[in-house]
A and B are shown apart, each in its own frame.
Chain A
């Protein structure tokens, strides 16, 4: 099974910009991996922010965006808010089989 890698932790200042990345042990992440980005806060179920690399759900704040960057999937947060302090997971699909990354603990401080 492929291994999906994320930064274990990142810190961003309120109002700042940060990019979380998601790499694959099989090589470059491409659109056919259909990258998802999920946010999870303590004690809550996860919720999806981004699907299929760039698409947002209706509840996804505009300050979040998804892309492919340097062979990885990326989640960029522009204008961080205190409520963005959370764990972020990427999910890649390998011919229909999903693999989560280990998660990035994002601290807004």
Chain B
């Protein structure tokens, strides 16, 4: 079964850091194109960033407002995607989703994790 499981969310103080993990099962991340999306309570979706498959160089793109604070990476040996979040602000409070949306072959997917809640508060 194809599945994504996020972890690492929780309560963090403003200015703090957190690393979210997204463990994949049922498929390999190596050539998967993945993205992170977040949703603040009662609000809409926000695109955080994406990472291409290894065949495309594994390059990343990040949303301009978050660039420099948020970084996407991947550990193929652990089949896990990461989101490193630094200098967290109250407005970063949200449910964070990882999603697999295509492969290097061009095949489309639409697998979402269950989401992990990050709360930034003093």
Residues of A within 8 A of B (CB): 1, 38, 40, 45-48, 51, 55, 57, 87, 89, 91, 96-103
Q: Which of B63, B65, B108 contacts A98 (CB 8 A)?
A: B63
Size bracket, chain B contacts:
20 to 34
Q: Tell me which residues across on chain A come within 8 A of B35, comparing CB atoms.
A: 98
Q: In this complex, what residue of B is CB-closest to A52?
A: B108
Does A97 contact B44, Cβ atoms closer than 8 Å?
no
A44 and B110 CA atoms in complex are apart in Å by 14
Binary per-residue interface labels of chain B (81-122) against chain A in the complex, 1 for a CB within 8 Å, 0 otherwise: 000000000000000010001000000101011110000000
Residues of B within 8 A of A (CB): 35, 37, 44-47, 50, 61-65, 97, 101, 108, 110, 112-115
Q: Which of B47, B64, B65, B113 contacts A91 (CB 8 A)?
A: B47
Does A45 contact B44, Cβ atoms closer than 8 Å?
no
Q: How far is the CB of A4 from chain B (nearest CB, A)?
A: 10
Q: How far is the CB of B22 from chain A (nearest CB, A)?
A: 13
Q: Tell me which residues across on chain B come within 8 A of A89, comparing CB atoms.
A: 44-45
* A97-B110 contact, Cβ under 8 Å, with A38-B45, A46-B45, A91-B47: no
Q: Tell me which residues across on chain B come within 8 A of A87, comparing CB atoms.
A: 44
